[in-house]
Structure 1
Amino acid sequence: MEHLPEIGLAFGAFALGMLSPGPNILSVIGTSMAVSRRAGLALALGISAGSLIWASMTAIGLTALISAYASVLTIIKIAGGLYLLWLAFKAFRSAATTAAAKAPSSLDSGGLYAFFFRGLAIQLTNPKAALTWIAIMSLGLAHSAPASTALTIVIGTTILSVAGHAAYAVAFSTERIIAIYQRARRWIDLTLGVFFTAAGIKLLTSRP
């Protein structure tokens, strides 16, 4: 009970991060509008799984080791930057087409796994996630905090991640939103392409 204020701070910082659009949230929004709600939810679960992995590693101190070795962090940065540029390429290619892309025919036979692993890749190749989790754990874990406090933060933030990303997937897969997307599809894809390009270049050129 004495560590509840720190846990609340950690949850609050994580929730605020969910409100700021980044590659993960924009990917969920774009997939939900362009493909389907199920695909968006699968992507959301993949992102949440990646968040759980980062949170768990931070709780046991592994991300502190990662951040201490520039070479490891550089590899993650390069992988993340190239992946964002690949997403930008796909968005630009979609914007260049005259018709909206259809959901893959394999969606019911393994296609959802592809979206799940795409979300997992987006989260795990983001070195900022490691630094963000270090900050969140620093807020939530006092020097005297027991292991149960770290476990509470990991479980709680994972639940928030699933709920938050799933909410984006559901909200942006409604008929009204999809109709808006169909009318403005090329501009939306172009905007996503510009964002992913800028984020990828920034990640590749920033210092570790």
Structure 2
Amino acid sequence: MQTLAIQDWLLLAGVCALGAMTPGASLAMVLHHTLHGSARAGVRAGLAHALGIGVYAAATVAGLAVVLHRFPSLETGIRLAGSLFLLWLAWKSWRGAGATPADQESGGGRPARDGFLIAFLNPKVALFFLALFSQFIDAGMSTVARVQVAATAVVIDGAWYSLVALTLARGPILATLRRHHARVERATAIVLALIAVVVWV
């Protein structure tokens, strides 16, 4: 069973790590659920985000990114849904700035739902993977190697956001965030709203 050469895999993993670490809506969402829930809520959001990334990673390996590139209206529709979702999250964060973290605990299925949708409603993820995977995938590549490529993106994304949640949930850090939760929520709302608008520029 042929897999990627180690040097190719390290390069792929490095680019995926840089992509995951880039601050944006996903980081704001994990921060929100960690602040209003716990490390567990943040990790659930992070792992669900990785699942959304996995959908696009697997679909890109299978050729979905080519379809999105060929049919711009499909991409536009998904992007519109994603922008509306970001604006909805921004409104929730802004409204939550006036409440205490205990008043708006982040529990149930909300962290997983938000984590998955913030990734799934972003068709640019597919285009990113198209550009990235095209450097590693060829027509003769084995199925095992293709799975390895997609799985690398999923594992790195889930591991990074889980690490973020666990780090933020440490006593002194979480206590500081909760003490300034109104500013954190308003900053989160502004970031999410800006991202929702900037994707159309």
TM-score by length of 2: 0.91
After superposition, the Cα gap between the structure-2 partners of 1:32 and 1:104, relative to the gap in structure 1 and judged at 3 Å, is closer
CA shift for structure 1 position 174:
1.3
* Separation of aligned partners in 2, 1:93 and 1:103: 11
Residue matched to 2:114: 118
* Separation of aligned partners in 2, 1:101 and 1:74: 38
Q: How does 1:79-98 map to 2 (within 5 A)?
A: 79-95=81-97, 97-98=98-99
Percent identity between matched residues is 25
Residue matched to 2:154: 158
Residue matched to 1:41: 43
Question: How many residues of Structure 1 are paired with residues of Structure 2 in the alignment?
Answer: 199
Asked if residue 100 in structure 1 is aligned to residue 96 in structure 2, the reply is: no
Q: How does 1:1-208 map to 2 (within 5 A)?
A: 3-95=5-97, 97-102=98-103, 104=105, 107=107, 111=108, 113-203=109-199, 205-206=200-201
Counterpart of 2:34 in structure 1: which amino acid? S
1:140 match: secondary structure:
coil
2:48 match: secondary structure:
helix
After superposition, the Cα gap between the structure-2 partners of 1:138 and 1:187, relative to the gap in structure 1 and judged at 3 Å, is same
TM-score by length of 1: 0.88
- On the 8 A contact 1:37/1:170 being kept in 2, the answer is yes
* Separation of aligned partners in 2, 1:39 and 1:103: 13
2:103 match: secondary structure:
coil
CA shift for structure 1 position 98:
4.9
* Separation of aligned partners in 2, 1:131 and 1:169: 27
Runs of 5+ unmatched residues, structure 1: none
Runs of 5+ unmatched residues, structure 2: none
CA shift for structure 1 position 104:
4.0
Moved over 6 A (4+): none
* Separation of aligned partners in 2, 1:177 and 1:149: 40
CA shift for structure 1 position 175:
1.3
* Separation of aligned partners in 1, 2:167 and 2:82: 27
- CA RMSD, Structure 1 to Structure 2 (Å): 1.9
* Separation of aligned partners in 1, 2:29 and 2:78: 19
* Separation of aligned partners in 2, 1:123 and 1:36: 21
* Separation of aligned partners in 2, 1:2 and 1:190: 44
Counterpart of 1:83 in structure 2: which amino acid? F
* Separation of aligned partners in 1, 2:131 and 2:72: 18
- Residues 73-108 of structure 1, C-alpha deviation per residue, up to 9 Å, x if partnerless? 00011001111111110111112x153343549x4x
CA shift for structure 1 position 159:
1.6
Counterpart of 1:124 in structure 2: which amino acid? F
